[in-house]
Amino acid sequence: MSAFKERIAHIVFMVAATVCIVAVALICIFLFINGIPAILKIGPIEFLTSNVWRPSNDEFGIFAMIIGSIYVTAGALVIGVPLGLFCAIFLSRFAHKKIVKILKPGVELLAGIPSVVYGFFGLVMIVPIIRAVFGVQGMGILAASIILGIMILPTIITVSKSALDAVPENYYEGALALGANHERCVFRIVLPAAVSGIMAAIILGVGRAIGETMAVVMIAGNQVRLPQGIMDGVRTMTGNIVLEMGYAADLHREALIGTAVVLFVFILIINLLFSLLKRRARV
């Protein structure tokens, strides 16, 4: 009976894994079959390096949107990674269990808030504050980075805390036995031992930030231009797709799918770079 249950479980898990792999493969096939011909038709150099996006004139250049996506994602990481990492360290190694029981559900609740709510919060709170403090329009890279930094906090905190909790306790106890204080044990022994899981948290945070659409569309300004500063409005690749896919046709629609191909490749490159960093950290 036990062997039969294990066999059934093995089949169920195999089917689930196969479905996931097939789904990813179908998405890749759809993107590349529909996007690559459009990129070749427009011209890869023009498509990737031109700042002009005028579908009515058959001009499709996404360089400004690539830069906008990079700036917004980088800003979100600058804000979200330090806050999330220090919060995870606090919850894992410094906070009392009663405090953890209160804060952990709050962090998980952040992950369940819809992105449109984050966007609305940014629109009615963050944007007016930026406008009042700096005397600018308010919708731009800074506002989008702040909101995305908040949105990636649950992912970074949860995954980083799990990585820190998984570090063998004898690492910490051995450092204490050698005379290190609590803070030194955490930051010099436990934190480096958990770097692989922390890097995974950052990768997931990058994926969440660069793939976010609704909140960014609401507060980023949606201006197809190269930004000159963090206060300027930008349009991201995801924002461009969601804003124009509803009425796009022919080459315009294919160019938007081509934008999705670039975004997909962009995420793959980021994951590859982080994987290389993880290998170096282990060495």
Give the pLDDT confidence of 195-225 residue by residue, as tens digits: 888 888 888 888 888 888 888 888 988 888 8
Count helices and strands in the chain by DSSP H and E runs:
15, 2
Q: Tell me the two tokens of residue 89.
A: 């360290």
Query: Which has more confidence, 135 or 21?
Result: 21
pLDDT of residue 76: 93
pLDDT digits (tens, 9 = 90+) for 165-181: 988 888 888 888 888 88
In the chain, where the domains are located: 48-282
Could you tell me the sign of the dihedral formed by the alpha carbons of 145, 151, 154, 155, in that order?
Answer: negative
Task: Please determine, for residue 87, whether its predicted confidence score (pLDDT) is greater than 90.
Answer: yes
Say if CB 241 and CB 256 are below 8 A apart: yes
The confidence band for 226, taking pLDDT boundaries of 50, 70 and 90, is confident
CA separation for the pair 11, 6 (Å, rounded): 9
State which fold the 48-282 domain adopts: MetI-like fold (1.10.3720)
pTM attached to this predicted model: 0.86
CA separation for the pair 242, 126 (Å, rounded): 23
